[in-house]
Amino acid sequence: MSIVRMKKISLIAVRSQKDALLRDLQSLGCVEFSEPEPVAEDAELHDLIARETSELEKYRSDQAGLIRGLMLLDRYAPEKSGLFEPRQEITESALLDESGAAGALALAERLEHLDGQLKRLSVLETQHKSLLESLEPWKELTIPLDCNGTEKTAVVLGTLPAGADPEAVGGILTAAAPEAALLAVSSSKELHYLVLICLKEKLPEALDALRACGFAPSPLKDLVGTAEANMEHTRQRLQEMADEKQELYRQIEAEAPRKNELKRCIDLLAAKIARAEAAERLLGTERAVLLSGWVPAPEEPKLLEVLSKYDCAWSTADPAPEEYENVPVKLKNNALTAPLTMVTEMYSLPSYDGVDPNPLMMPFFVLFYGFMMADAGYGLIMILAALLVKRKKPRGGAKNFFDLLLMCGISTLLFGIVTGGFFGDALKQIFGLFGKTFTLPYTPLFDPLNDTQLVLVGALALGGFQVLVGMAVSFIKQTADGHFLDALFDVGSWWLLFAGIALGALGVTWWVAVAGVAALVLTQGRSKPTIIGKLASGIGSLYNITGYFGDILSYSRLMALMLAGGVIAQVFNTLAALTGNIVTFFLIFLVGHALNLGLNLLGCYVHDLRLQCLEFFGKFYKDGGRPFSPLKFNTKYTTITK
Amino acid sequence: MQGFLENFGGMSLGILGAGLAVVLAGIGSAKGTGMAGEAGAGLLCEDPSKFGKVMILQVIPGTQGIYGFVVGFLALMFMGVLDGTAVGMSITEGFRYFVACMPIALGGWISAIAQGRVAVAAINILAKKPDDWAKGMILCITVEFYAILSLLVSVFILLYI
């Protein structure tokens, strides 16, 4: 329940054992590889030592290909799967077995090839469909489309705007070229489709006259035979293409059972990529490789046991305080506090010399959540949902989420019992439907809507308590770091002032408060060089009283959310009961409470988060830690069983 | 005229307030979810698989409409409109109900639009950094708090006047 102590490790191994060593370290999963220090300036050394290289790029592009293949399979042969489907389990040696890799890569390539063909067909299909559309108006034309006239006559296909009157245009045409004829083929909303036939020598005059009326020649190039024949042919081609596509779909779908093979190979490559990334952080000479990195102190014996099998030399050391900002941070948590890692990570990890906030925050987070939700029905739903999902063994972030949901659900249930809320006042309304009155078998401690002031005072008191705990943590931490006087001045003075205000408000004496103010004025400017500076920042620090005041008032949100959830639940119940019918009651009840529950789950989480990260962490937290990321298996689709 | 005002003046004011609580908060929510929906539809063109997350972000500014409805409903119920006992309510009393509805009508209206803007920005986060979309959701919920405060004050006035 604290930040794990790290040790710096330096190791020199012989090159021939490099790959085996990396594999063992990955299996162990407890060594983080640091970026190597720049190679010595010394020119002689510079030639001898170089950073290691690997086939990282090749692995990455292979993996990307496999992922594309898997996505294609998912797209063309989708599988119904739940949100928390258990992953396939596999032993480490089976995962690292490379014999299936070539097959999986070939499969991915084949899938991409098939997809390429499908895309090409789709483009062709669109082209043919638009051709079909452009031929449609000429369907009635019996002249072949490639005919541009006889020995003496010219034939031109063209269109006129729908607004033009064909007879008037015919008149204009006859005036320009007496032997010309304009034959209508078909009309649509926008255009008339026409054929112009005239003597070849009169063609320019005829076209000029028609252009003035809006005539546009629209030749159908490269087509032989009548429009009808062309359309028939195009339709045939479209049918063929559809068949071809079906066949391709079928071929892709036939590969669907091999999805797991792809997934396993993606994870295999992920392992190889992790190893290659680590290898690129090594320095190497002709015969040896040099590793520098971090290992958690409790895991050191395990690591040394593995290293003893190899021909290598190593040393471990505790980091010096000036190195602390580079030390990776790993939090050690038990089952109760681990779920809070979610909250800590969303904010920022503590620095290596900071405090692990999870155990401190856990009781408050869960308590506040229950306080805000405070409904036995909602609590039960949260507990059930968490237990249902937990049966499927979610991992990592999802596991933390549902563990947190379970804890908050229990707390919500308890607060619901205390306040007598079960889906708002659902029981009362349901009994009312049958003309009975419902009374709880016990008296609730308080009823949020009637004891509003009590709830508000309770919320502020809880807040005040959390702020004091935060300050106490800061006091202990500073004392442990050997800054007892700082702790006394920075935290002690404030406590003196708070105690003084409390005593004064109770009518005992105001002198303690005065002493607190004096202590603040005298100590808070101690880092300033001049007397005036010291006094000025001492007096300025009194302004922080508004900060503490605001922090504690901020906890009134606990009351606000508790009441809002309760009011909305009751309104939906009343609305449902108005219908006077048990069936419609449950319909409205379901919709209303689903809305209210969803809203409250989110709202309470966010406001709880805010109270922890702003009001609580602000008192003691030192953030900026870098997460510990050792070389390990980071599988996405499989779970490794030892 | 005198008789009409005595019989129905108070009730009309109360009903006007209840209506405004529902309608103004509803306008805000409609604008907020509308903006978020437009932005979300743009994202869905690129990546339809994000529908679930887009929908969550879109409905967040929808809650003010519910709050307005809750207050409007409570007001109608307390006034006795639902069981027909509201006739003859005094003008003073009707005006009280009107005033009680105003916090959520105005607070819900404007906070929903502000929240809609944040939801649009959060959809941007979802498009560019999908892993961090939960942070966008948290930004949205921050705005929600002020609608909750408006709701509570409206309910308090209704309960305790």
In angstroms, the first-to-last Cα distance of chain B is 28
DSSP 8-state secondary structure symbol assigned to residue A638: E
CA distance A39 to A43: 10
Which three-class secondary structure state does DSSP give residue A329? strand
From A182's Cα to the closest Cα of chain B, the distance in A is: 48
Over 50: is that where the pLDDT of A526 sits? Answer: yes
From A509's Cα to the closest Cα of chain B, the distance in A is: 37
Architecture field, domain A147-222: 2-Layer Sandwich (3.30)
Q: In chain B, how many domains are there? A: 1
Mean pLDDT computed over A128-136: 88
Average pLDDT, chain B: 90
Residue numbers in A near B108 (CB within 8 A): none
Interface of B with A in 32-61 (CB under 8 A): 60
φ, ψ for residue A449, nearest 5 deg: -75, -25
Which residues lie closer than 8 Å to A93 by C-beta, 6 or more apart? none
Q: Cβ distance A476 to A484 under 8 Å?
A: no
Q: Would the CB atoms of B151 and A449 count as touching at under 8 Å?
A: no
The closest alpha carbon to A390, from A339, A341, A334, belongs to: A339
Question: Residue A493 CA to chain centroid, in angstroms?
Answer: 44
Strands A626-627 and A328-329, by their bridges, are: parallel
Strands A181-187 and A191-199, by their bridges, are: antiparallel
| Closest residue in A to B148 (Cα–Cα) | A564
Give A443: exposed, middle or buried? Use CB within 10 Å, 0-12, 13-18, 19+.
exposed
Name beta bridge partners: A308.
Answer: none
Which three-class secondary structure state does DSSP give residue B70? helix
Q: Cβ distance A419 to A558 under 8 Å?
A: no
Q: Would the CB atoms of B70 and A595 count as touching at under 8 Å?
A: no
Element (H or E) spanning A6, and its range? Answer: strand A6-14
Within 13 Å of residue A169, how many CA atoms lie on the same side as its CB? 25
Q: Which comes out higher in pLDDT, residue A181 or A360?
A: A360
CA torsion angle for B46, B49, B51, B52 (degrees, to 10)? -150
Whole-number pLDDT of residue A444: 85
Architecture field, domain A6-52+281-328: 2-Layer Sandwich (3.30)
| Model confidence pLDDT, tens digit, residues A377-414 | 999 999 999 999 988 877 777 888 999 999 999 999 99
At A367, the pLDDT band (50, 70, 90 cuts) reads very high
3-state SS of A64-133?
HHHHHHHHHHHHHCCCCCCCCCCCEEEEHHHHHCHHHHHHHHHHHHHHHHHHHHHHHHHHHHHHHHHHHH
Residue numbers in A near B66 (CB within 8 A): 568, 595, 599
Average pLDDT, chain A: 86
Residue among A75, A567, A595 with most chain B CBs within 10 A, to mutate: A567
Domain of B115 in residue numbering reads as: 2-159
Over 90: is that where the pLDDT of A281 sits? Answer: no
Interface of A with B in 324-353 (CB under 8 A): 346
Q: Cβ distance B126 to B60 under 8 Å?
A: no
The closest alpha carbon to A601, from A370, A403, A341, A345, belongs to: A370
- Report the share of chain A in percent with pLDDT over 70: 97
CA distance B61 to B25: 10
Q: Would the CB atoms of B142 and A602 count as touching at under 8 Å?
A: no
Question: Residue A214 CA to chain centroid, in angstroms?
Answer: 58
φ, ψ for residue A10, nearest 5 deg: -120, 140
Q: Do A6-52+281-328 and A147-222 come out as alike in CATH topology?
A: yes
From A566's Cα to the closest Cα of chain B, the distance in A is: 11
| Model confidence pLDDT, tens digit, residues A203-235 | 888 888 888 888 888 767 777 788 888 889 899
Element (H or E) spanning A55, and its range? Answer: none
The closest alpha carbon to A624, from A353, A359, A358, belongs to: A353
The closest alpha carbon to A33, from A271, A268, A279, belongs to: A279
| Model confidence pLDDT, tens digit, residues A463-522 | 999 999 999 999 999 898 888 888 888 888 899 888 888 888 888 888 888 888 888 888
Whole-number pLDDT of residue A126: 92
Q: Cβ distance A429 to A578 under 8 Å?
A: no
CA distance B40 to B122: 10
Over 50: is that where the pLDDT of A1 sits? Answer: no
Whole-number pLDDT of residue B73: 86
Give A19: exposed, middle or buried? Use CB within 10 Å, 0-12, 13-18, 19+.
exposed
Which three-class secondary structure state does DSSP give residue B34? helix
Q: Would the CB atoms of A609 and B138 count as touching at under 8 Å?
A: yes
φ, ψ for residue A320, nearest 5 deg: -80, 155
Strands A153-161 and A216-217, by their bridges, are: antiparallel
CA distance A292 to A134: 71
Q: Which of A34-48, A593-607, A609-623 is predicted with the least confidence, judged by mean pLDDT?
A: A34-48
Nearest-by-Cβ selection for B141 from A563, A575, A603: A603
Nearest-by-Cβ selection for A567 from B77, B138, B155: B155
Give A23: exposed, middle or buried? Use CB within 10 Å, 0-12, 13-18, 19+.
middle
Q: Cβ distance A337 to A1 under 8 Å?
A: yes
| Closest residue in B to A563 (Cα–Cα) | B152
Whole-number pLDDT of residue A362: 93
From A552's Cα to the closest Cα of chain B, the distance in A is: 17
Whole-number pLDDT of residue A100: 81
At A42, the pLDDT band (50, 70, 90 cuts) reads low
Whole-number pLDDT of residue A314: 86
| Model confidence pLDDT, tens digit, residues B62-89 | 889 989 988 998 898 888 887 888 888 8
Residue A83 has which token pair?
Answer: 């949100």
Residue A119 has which token pair?
Answer: 């895309």
CA distance A31 to A312: 16
Q: Which of A23-32, A97-106, B109-118 is predicted with the least confidence, judged by mean pLDDT?
A: A97-106
CA distance A272 to A235: 51
Q: Would the CB atoms of A568 and B70 count as touching at under 8 Å?
A: yes
CA distance A526 to B112: 48
Over 70: is that where the pLDDT of A284 sits? Answer: yes
| Closest residue in A to B159 (Cα–Cα) | A449
At A81, the pLDDT band (50, 70, 90 cuts) reads low
Q: Is the dihedral of CA A376, A378, A379, A380 positive or negative?
A: positive
Spell out a b/e string for A262-289, using b for 16 or more CB atoms within 10 Å of the CB, else e.
bbbbbbbbbbbbbbbebbebbbbeeebb
CA distance A290 to A18: 10
What's chain A's length in residues? 642
Q: Would the CB atoms of B151 and A564 count as touching at under 8 Å?
A: yes
Q: What number of other Cβ atoms are within 10 A of residue A332's Cβ?
A: 15
Residue A85 has which token pair?
Answer: 């489907």
The closest alpha carbon to A359, from A340, A373, A372, A375, belongs to: A340
Q: Which of A6-10, A331-335, A381-385 is predicted with the least confidence, judged by mean pLDDT?
A: A331-335
Q: Would the CB atoms of B70 and A603 count as touching at under 8 Å?
A: no
Interface of A with B in 572-631 (CB under 8 A): 574-575, 578, 595, 599, 602-603, 606-607, 609-610
At A83, the pLDDT band (50, 70, 90 cuts) reads low
Q: Would the CB atoms of A571 and B73 count as touching at under 8 Å?
A: yes
Residue among A75, A604, A606 with most chain B CBs within 10 A, to mutate: A606
Within 13 Å of residue A387, how many CA atoms lie on the same side as its CB? 8
Over 90: is that where the pLDDT of A78 sits? Answer: no
Q: Is the dihedral of CA A202, A205, A208, A213 positive or negative?
A: negative
Within 13 Å of residue A301, how many CA atoms lie on the same side as its CB? 1
From A571's Cα to the closest Cα of chain B, the distance in A is: 6
Q: Cβ distance A310 to A17 under 8 Å?
A: yes
Name beta bridge partners: B80.
Answer: none
Nearest-by-Cβ selection for B141 from A346, A595, A602: A602
Put simply, whether B159 touches A (Cβ < 8 Å) is yes
**The CATH number of the domain where B14 resides is what?**
1.20.120.610
Mean pLDDT computed over A45-52: 74
Q: Domain residue spans in chain A? A: 6-52+281-328, 147-222, 339-619
Mean pLDDT computed over A15-34: 89
The amino acid at residue A522 is L
Going from the C-alpha of A489 to that of each of A157, A405, A502, the distances in angstroms are 98, 40, 20
Whole-number pLDDT of residue A246: 92
Over 60: is that where the pLDDT of A72 sits? Answer: yes
Whole-number pLDDT of residue A39: 62
